[in-house]
Chain A
Amino acid sequence: MSGYFGGVIVILSLNVILAYAIFLPVASGQLNLGGAAFQAVGAYTAGFLSTSYDLAVGPSLALSVLAGGLVALFFSFIILRTRSVYLVLATFAFSEFVSGVIVNIDALGGSVGLSVSTHISGTVVLVAAVIAAAIVLLFMQTRLGLATRAIHDDDLVSELMGIGVRWTRVIAFTLGGLLAGLAGGLYAFYFNFVDIQSFDAASSIYLLLFVLLGGTQTFWGPLVGAAFFTIVPELLRSAISAAPALAHALGVTGELDSSWRFIILGALTVAMMIVRPEGAITRIGLSRLQAALFPSRLRKRPA
C-alpha cells in the first residue's frame, strides 16, 4: 500500500481507532477532551522503546497499548470519584499537562521531536484498525456494553438496577486508553517521527467533535465521523490549493493548509448541535434504514 491513496487509508485507519477510543467513554456519558494526549503516551512509549532500547515493533506496540491503558485506568479511577463535569475539565487539563511535560523531556525529543527508525507498512495499520473496530463491536454486544449505554441514558436508574456505574465508566475509559495507545504506537512506526505538536489540545478537540458528529448512539457513528472528516478534507485539499489567489484577495495572510479543516469542522459542529445534536447516525435512524431495507418482522437488532 503506497502512494497518496495509501496514505489516506492509513490516516483513516488511525482516525478510526482514535474514534473508537473516544467513543467508549462518550458512550458511557463521559466526554473525553484528552484523546490526542493518550495517543501521545502510546506514540512516545513506542518511539522511546524502539530508539533507546532497540525494542522490536511487536513488543513496542504492545507496550504502547498498555501504556495508554494504564494511564487511562489510573486517571479515570481517580477522577471518576468526582462529578462528571470535572472529568471533562480533567481530560482537558491532562492533554495540556502531557504536552507541557513532554516538551521538557530531552530523551523524548523535547520540542523538536523523536525520530523512529523502524517502519511498518500501511497494511499493518489497516489491519489493526479492523481488529480494533471488531473488538469494540463485540464489546458493545456484551452485557457490559449494554450497561455502558444504559449509564449514558440514566446513571441513577442504572445504579438501582445493579450496575456499578463508576466501575463501568472506568472500564470504558481504560479501553479507550488502550485503543488510543495503539493508535499512538502505530503512528510512531508509520510516520517515523513523533512531535508533540501533532498531539495538541486542538487535535483532541477535533477528534471528539468528529466522533460526536458521526453519532455515539451506535457502533457505526464513529466510523462515519472518522471517514467523513478524513476523506472530505483530502478532497477539499486539492480544491483549496487551486485557489490561493482567491484567498489572498479575501485578506488571508496565514497558512491555508490545516486551518480550513478546523473551521469546517467547527462550523459544522455548531450547526449540528442546533439541528441534530445526536449526530448523523442514530439508533432510530438505523432502525428506519433497516426497516426500509429488510421489511420482515424477524429482523436483527441494530448494532
Chain B
Amino acid sequence: MSQRDVILTLQKVSKSFSGLTVLDHLSFEVRAGERVALIGPNGAGKTTVFNVISGAYLADEGAIVLDGQDIVSKPPRARARMGLARSFQNIRLMPHLSVVENVMIGQHSRARGLADLLTPLWLTRNRHWRQEAEERLRSFGLDTYPHVVTSNLPYGVRKKIEVVRALMSHPKVLLLDEPAAGLDPRETHDLQEFLLGVAAQGVTLLVIEHDMSLVRGLCEHTIVLNFGRKIFDGPTSAVHEDPQVLEAYLGPQDAEPARRLAVGGG
C-alpha cells in the first residue's frame, strides 16, 4: 500500500450529552482515497462521530483536520464547501422535494456567487446542474421517476437517492451512515460495486456499517468503536481475530470460544 497523504484526522475528540460521555478522546487518521469502515456495537458513538465531523454537533474538545485545515470550529456549511458530504442512518431526504430536486440540493455547496444563486435553473447557463443530477440518477438506475416527490418512494430507492445527493457536492471525503441497511444481498453487492467505482475516482470513504460482507468487500481499513473509544484500528482482515473486538460484540464469556473458532476458520 503506497503511502498516501492523510486527509482526515481526529485528535482526542470528546463529546458528552448531559454528563453522558459519548465520544472519549477519540483519535484516528484516514488517508486520501482510503475506504475505511467504522464499526462497533449499537450505542458505541459511530453516528456521533459523523455528526461531530460534519458539524451537526460541536466537539467538546479535540481537533478535527480536513485536508490540512482545522474544521473543529467551522460551521457545517463551510465544511460542506471544503469537500465533506454525508448520508444519514434514518434517510433524511426533503419530503416535499422531487427526486431531482433533492439531488440538486447536494450541489448547493458548489454554487458560487449571486449568478449561480439567483438565476432560474432553466436558463441555458444553469442547465448543467440539472443535467448532471439526471445523469447521475440514470447511472444509478434511478431515472424512472425524476419528478416524483420523494416521500412516497420505497425505502431502498430513497437510500440510493441519498447517496447520489451526497455525491453531488463532488466531495473529497464521503461519510456513509449504514448505506446497506434494509438492502437485500443483491442490492448490497450492487452498492459495493458502485462505491468501489466512486472510490476509484479519488473519493475517500468512511462507512458506518453492520453488514460485515459489505465491510469486507469494500473497506481495506477498519476502525472499531466501543463506548466512544477506539478499540481497533487496522486492516479489515484482522478485525475478527482481535480479542477486544470480540469481547465488545459478544461479551467476555462468549468471546473466548468465538476467538478460537475465528482463528480456526476465516
Q: Which residues of A contact B (CB under 8 A)?
A: 138, 141-144, 146-147, 149-150, 152-154, 156-164, 217, 283-284, 287, 299, 301-302
Contacts and interface: CB of A to CB of B under 8 A. Distances in A.
Q: What is the size category of the interface that chain B forms with chain A?
A: 35 or more
Given A161-B105, A162-B81, A163-B77, A301 B147 contact: yes
Contact of A284 (B75, B129, B152): B152
A277 B118 CA distance: 30
A287 B77 contact: no
A160 B120 contact: no
A287 B96 contact: no
Interface in B113-169: 116-122, 126, 129, 147-149, 151-152, 165, 169
Contacts of A146: 97, 101, 104-105, 121
A302 to B, nearest CB: 7
Given A149-B94, A159-B55, 18 more contacts: A138-B120, A141-B121, A143-B104, A143-B118, A144-B118, A146-B101, A146-B105, A150-B94, A152-B96, A153-B94, A157-B94, A158-B105, A161-B106, A162-B80, A163-B105, A164-B77, A287-B149, A301-B100
A158 B96 CA distance: 13
Top 7 A-B pairs, shortest CB-CB distance: A162-B109, A162-B80, A153-B94, A141-B120, A301-B147, A162-B77, A159-B76
Nearest to B121: A141
B97 A153 contact: yes
Interface of B: 54-56, 75-77, 80-81, 86, 88, 92, 94-98, 100-101, 104-106, 108-109, 111, 116-122, 126, 129, 147-149, 151-152, 165, 169
Contact of B148 (A163, A164, A287): A287
Contact of B97 (A138, A142, A150, A164): A150
Contacts of A161: 77, 80, 105-106, 108-109, 165, 169
Contacts of B80: 160-162
Contacts of B151: 284
A154 B119 CA distance: 23
Contacts of B100: 301
28 contacts: A138-B120, A142-B117, A142-B118, A142-B119, A143-B108, A143-B111, A144-B117, A146-B97, A146-B105, A146-B121, A147-B117, A153-B94, A153-B96, A154-B92, A154-B94, A156-B56, A158-B105, A159-B55, A159-B77, A160-B55, A160-B80, A160-B86, A161-B169, A163-B105, A217-B96, A284-B149, A301-B100, A301-B147
A185 B123 CA distance: 33
A301 to B, nearest CB: 5
B97 A149 contact: yes
A39 to B, nearest CB: 25
A149, A284, A301, A302: most-surrounded residue (chain B CB, <10 A): A301
A162 B107 CA distance: 9
